[in-house]
Amino acid sequence: MNKIALVTGATSGIGEACARKLAMIGYNMIITGRRAERLDALARELSALGVGVITLEFDVRDREAATAAINGLPPEWQEIDVLVNNAGGALGLEPEYEGNYEDWDTMIDANVKGLLTMTRLIVPGMVKRDRGHVVNIGSVAGDAAYANGNVYCATKAAVKALSDGLRIDVAHTKVRVTNIKPGLVETNFSVIRFHGDKEKADNVYKGIQPLTGTDIAECVAFAVCAPAHVQVAEMLVLATHQASGSVIHRE
Ligand code: 8X3
């Protein structure tokens, strides 16, 4: 059987693009997400590429559901070679002293605790088999806070620390850990951040050509396809007219 990759949050944006790219290069795919219809549509598309596909409908914030889904995989699907921890996102863009408790919980539960749950469930098998690759989708937001980014930036700083920590903890194995840190990527990221306000979301990408989910998927594939002795530890990927999380030149 071909190698197996699991992508969380594969129903849109960077996750969907990663699933597509990994399937294109021959991985059998386990795609996870909260929306069954979107998972099914993507599964049909990926199957047409000639790879095996399994869909798992769960929210990474639900530890029990995640555990049941992973433990319930058919035996021939248990040996996951690549885990892409992509699920998560941003909610709200208010000053820290005015932020919304629910938004904070959602971001921390998905971006940090969800990523940890998936790592905890899948990496022991990688360590045992002495092979595997964990790709965490971090962010430029984790390198330095930007105005009103506070909690989102904190979750992505946590993704950096957890990637670095895991890399240390698996250094005695052939398991590799990569933290991909995108800048401005036009997906439904900002629509969700602004709780559905499309106009505000569009303004984020005004006057600058943002990255696409596919651009990030190419970076993931580069790290995954690197020779076994090469560990791409981090990749910071910005739009050309972006210099940091807060320095953006708009035309
Ligand atoms: C997404 C990058 O700069 O929009 O994580 O927060 S940014």
Contact (Cβ atoms closer than 8 angstroms) between residue 180 and residue 142: no
pTM of the model: 0.97
pLDDT band for position 1 (50/70/90)? Answer: confident
Per-residue model confidence as pLDDT tens digits over 119-160: 999 999 999 999 999 999 999 999 999 999 999 999 999 999
What's at 219, amino acid-wise? C
- Nearest residue (CA) to ligand 1, atom 6: 141
Q: How far does the centroid of ligand 1 lie from the alpha carbon of residue 152, in Å?
A: 9
Per-residue model confidence as pLDDT tens digits over 162-208: 999 999 999 999 999 999 999 999 999 999 999 999 999 999 999 99
- Strands 53-57, 82-85: pairing is unpaired
Mutate to test the pocket of ligand 1, among 179, 189, 244 (most ligand atoms within 8 A of CB): 189
- Nearest residue (CA) to ligand 1, atom 2: 183
**Does residue 244 register a pLDDT over 80?**
yes
**Does residue 98 register a pLDDT over 80?**
yes
Q: Tell which atom from ligand 1 comes closest to the C-alpha of 183.
A: 2
**Does residue 242 register a pLDDT over 80?**
yes
Query: Quick check: is 152 catalytic?
Result: yes
Structure tokens at 191: 């629509």
**Does residue 55 register a pLDDT over 80?**
yes
The pLDDT value given to residue 2: 87
Residue of 27, 101, 146, 152 with catalytic role: 152
Residues lining ligand 1, judged by CB closer than 6 Å?
139-141, 182-184, 245
What gap in Å lies between CA 139 and CA 145, rounded to an integer? 11
Mutate to test the pocket of ligand 1, among 137, 139, 211, 244 (most ligand atoms within 8 A of CB): 139
**Does residue 6 register a pLDDT over 90?**
yes
| CATH number given to 4-237 | 3.40.50.720
The pLDDT value given to residue 218: 98
Share of the chain above pLDDT 70, in %: 100
What gap in Å lies between CA 101 and CA 91, rounded to an integer? 11
What gap in Å lies between CA 218 and CA 135, rounded to an integer? 13
The arithmetic mean of pLDDT across residues 95-121, rounded, is: 98
Q: How far does the centroid of ligand 1 lie from the alpha carbon of residue 44, in Å?
A: 30
Beta-carbon neighbour count of residue 24 at 10 Å? 13
Ramachandran sector of residue 170 (left: φ over 0; alpha: ψ -120 to 50; beta: rest):
alpha
Mutate to test the pocket of ligand 1, among 179, 185, 215 (most ligand atoms within 8 A of CB): 185
Per-residue model confidence as pLDDT tens digits over 204-237: 999 999 999 999 999 999 999 999 999 999 999 9
